[in-house]
Chain A
């Protein structure tokens, strides 16, 4: 069953919209249109995804044999470092906020653009400059500190291009801060008449919560990286005990940002999920206020759990206990969301276009990542599996199984709005399926590897771990193909896909009232909101 619609074909061809209003490179590089900037981000993060993904392919290939199939340990260390740095800072963190958020925040609240359009363009340029520094570090010979930059290894011992890579992360942080600032001001000040806080789509609540983390957390990673640079260049004793510093201080500062950064990746994904589940089951979300408030709760509690990355690092027993229980607290709002999504399906009218398949895959994989987080928050358990493949599997289930599934679901869902074209449904469903299967085959064996005791960041490993590693690599090759298929057909569809109507899914939400693709100013006249979010028609039934 499909609600794909090929009506109004004359509309998109003859009408002036944000894509055909100007032509030429300059019109893109100097644009202040939030929708065009979203596409600039889409292109750039896709390139970074390919860089990070290629590193992942080489990592998995190398792990096919216990002695390392392809490369020397020094090269392997650079591969996982660049994989982590690129995927975390240049793909996952900007993914949903900078692409879908940029495109959708003004459209969803009935505004013409973000509050500061030029600042928005600046964010992209800052991101690109940061990215160039990091790419320079890769081309110049690589960096081998891991994405975590632990001191004193990064500040004193590593003789790779730490400064360039760290500077890239430092610079790109300003891009996050500016985007967060822009979103917060926009959501506060530019909502259409009648768009009260509790009528906002849940995606907007998620963007709001994410922006809070951007603004509060990102400066801390900036400061931390500056301190690393100071110690590396000027030998100021901050983290290296040989100079009078404290290496645990680095970990506290690093995780104070980098744990909330995980929520920067997953909160937007949860926002997308709420949009997908409601649209494809034609239902108002179950427990709107609980889902909305849980986003804020996650954003705030997320700042209080950083030391669960340090249970075996040398913190005191009591610190361990406090951070363990706080970590369980932050798990509550996440599970609330899963239960509410499930309840939303109840008595819905559920259809299975590709975005919904990605959405269902998200619930499954995110839940798997979430429950294994319960293992890691439990102190005695964490001591055994900390820094093993169990942790690798856990956070890939959240960040790839969760965030990337939702990102792809969101890209498919809003593709008609973004491009004015429909993607090929059959291919899209097929790729959703093989991504789901490939993902599980890649990462499920890693839980077992971790419990068996295989440490992370090991190019060489004991032979008894080989079978599980081969399974994981086999899965990764399926997963890799799964990611390439949408890349090909989405590009293809921009030219050859069927022309999309303004609302092919019959979805609620202001963005679907604008034409596909929307004109530069989004709405011909400012919309007035009179109903709550997800106001799908329902029939009153006699309660037995």
Chain B
């Protein structure tokens, strides 16, 4: 390999060293088996080359032992490859509690990101080093994919649902992110930079510039503006259930089943309210499809998430 060609992307997340170790393991094991086969073929090819046209080769007796060995041994090795890969995959599905949440919306052909504190950015993602970050992602149109090679992670970003991705950056710096699911004409332009900063710099970046409105506040404003409050009253006196304390709890539905009030359920209830109606209520809510975009929905969810059951009666009056 000529000098100057990198052989691996930078290692900048807690996953990266593990994935690279797995890569070296796979390379070592499969490489050894392949080289063994190639060397045998080479030796046979030279040693047993035909020396005269009427040569008659000796009979070779087949042994069951060989067949069993070359079925069994590779399979045992494969079980290790499976287990190791599955372990990493398991971790990638389990963000640590208390991760910093950042929201990602993909659309043809740009990435829109918002931080809970209100900071919004396009095709750039600023994160602090050494802190787990969880991305909650959705798409406004086709399927995209958020891929950060330096972190060794990616996940498809689908329309109509939330997917999530988490990482903990280990090194400050600027790293590529790409859309890696083909999404149309300018697919290859749908990329950007992850900027990993020291926590102090990150805080400074968060508070810098315009904005000022957190996602929660933006959601509260929307909740008023869209007149959600007319029915979803905090004291449960409206024609719709109160949303105070609903987030993360089971909701009884008219058909007797229950559903967890998570991001997906809230999103569905805004866009297709009749899909799963809470028990005891009429399906009278209009759809907000077309009135709210994915970013607004995320803000509404952030607001609903913040509506905790108050500890004291005074605060109840303050809640909507």
Give CA–CA (A287, B19) in the complex, Å: 37
- Please state if A241 and B7 are interface contacts (CB–CB under 8 Å): no
CB proximity to A under 8 Å, residues B33-70: 33-34, 37-38, 40-41, 44-45, 48-51, 53, 55-62, 66-67, 70
Chain A residues lying within 8 Å of B223, measured Cβ to Cβ, are none
With beta carbons under 8 angstroms apart, the residue of B18, B90, B184 that contacts A158 is: B184
Q: Does B108 contact A (CB under 8 A)?
A: yes
Instruction: Identify which of B76-84, B196-204, B300-308 touches chain A.
Output: B76-84
Give CA–CA (A281, B41) in the complex, Å: 12
Q: Does A477 contact B (CB under 8 A)?
A: no
Closest to A246 in B: B160
With beta carbons under 8 angstroms apart, the residue of A3, A346, A379, A464 that contacts B89 is: A379
With beta carbons under 8 angstroms apart, the residue of A158, A343, A371 that contacts B30 is: A371
Instruction: Identify which of A120-128, A348-356, A399-407 touches chain B.
Output: A348-356
CB proximity to A under 8 Å, residues B64-110: 66-67, 70-71, 74-75, 78-79, 81-82, 84-90, 92-93, 108
Q: Does B318 contact A (CB under 8 A)?
A: no
Chain B residues lying within 8 Å of A157, measured Cβ to Cβ, are 108, 141-142, 184
Closest to B45 in A: A350
- Please state if A384 and B149 are interface contacts (CB–CB under 8 Å): yes
- Please state if B58 and A539 are interface contacts (CB–CB under 8 Å): yes
Q: Does A437 contact B (CB under 8 A)?
A: no
Give CA–CA (A376, B91) in the complex, Å: 18
Closest to B183 in A: A153
CB proximity to B under 8 Å, residues A443-499: 448, 451-453, 455-462, 464, 467-468
Give CA–CA (A160, B178) in the complex, Å: 24
Q: Does B120 contact A (CB under 8 A)?
A: no
Given A338-B37, A467-B5, A350-B147 contact (CB < 8 Å): no
- Please state if B49 and A351 are interface contacts (CB–CB under 8 Å): yes
- Please state if A342 and B26 are interface contacts (CB–CB under 8 Å): no
1/0 per residue, CB under 8 A from B, across A385-398: the answer is: 01110000000000
Q: Does B222 contact A (CB under 8 A)?
A: no
With beta carbons under 8 angstroms apart, the residue of B62, B82, B87, B92 that contacts A377 is: B82
Give CA–CA (A53, B219) in the complex, Å: 53
- Please state if A381 and B26 are interface contacts (CB–CB under 8 Å): yes
Instruction: Identify which of A109-117, A202-210, A316-324 touches chain B.
Output: A316-324
Given A381-B22, A539-B56, A386-B182 contact (CB < 8 Å): no
Q: Does B9 contact A (CB under 8 A)?
A: yes
- Please state if B184 and A383 are interface contacts (CB–CB under 8 Å): no
Chain B residues lying within 8 Å of A335, measured Cβ to Cβ, are 70, 74
With beta carbons under 8 angstroms apart, the residue of B55, B88, B108 that contacts A379 is: B88
Chain A residues lying within 8 Å of B22, measured Cβ to Cβ, are 378, 380-381
Q: Does B112 contact A (CB under 8 A)?
A: no
- Please state if A328 and B82 are interface contacts (CB–CB under 8 Å): yes
Closest to B41 in A: A342
Q: Does A363 contact B (CB under 8 A)?
A: yes
- Please state if A371 and B92 are interface contacts (CB–CB under 8 Å): no
- Please state if B19 and A381 are interface contacts (CB–CB under 8 Å): yes
Chain B residues lying within 8 Å of A352, measured Cβ to Cβ, are 49
- Please state if B142 and A331 are interface contacts (CB–CB under 8 Å): no
With beta carbons under 8 angstroms apart, the residue of A150, A317, A338, A538 that contacts B56 is: A538
With beta carbons under 8 angstroms apart, the residue of A321, A342, A367 that contacts B86 is: A321
With beta carbons under 8 angstroms apart, the residue of A317, A377, A451, A537 that contacts B81 is: A377
Closest to A338 in B: B37
CB distance from A178 to the nearest CB of B (A): 32
CB distance from A157 to the nearest CB of B (A): 5
- Please state if A537 and B56 are interface contacts (CB–CB under 8 Å): yes
Closest to A373 in B: B30
- Please state if B75 and A332 are interface contacts (CB–CB under 8 Å): yes
Chain A residues lying within 8 Å of B186, measured Cβ to Cβ, are 73
Give CA–CA (A335, B184) in the complex, Å: 38
Can you list 26 contacts pairing A with B, beta carbon distance less than 8 Å? A73-B188, A157-B108, A242-B159, A248-B158, A282-B57, A287-B62, A336-B67, A336-B70, A345-B45, A346-B60, A350-B45, A374-B81, A378-B85, A379-B85, A380-B19, A381-B22, A383-B88, A384-B154, A448-B7, A451-B23, A453-B149, A453-B178, A456-B182, A459-B188, A536-B57, A543-B61
Residues of B in contact with A (beta carbons under 8 Å apart):
2, 4-9, 15, 18-19, 22-23, 26, 29-31, 33-34, 37-38, 40-41, 44-45, 48-51, 53, 55-62, 66-67, 70-71, 74-75, 78-79, 81-82, 84-90, 92-93, 108, 141-143, 145, 147, 149-150, 152-156, 158-161, 163, 176, 178-189, 272
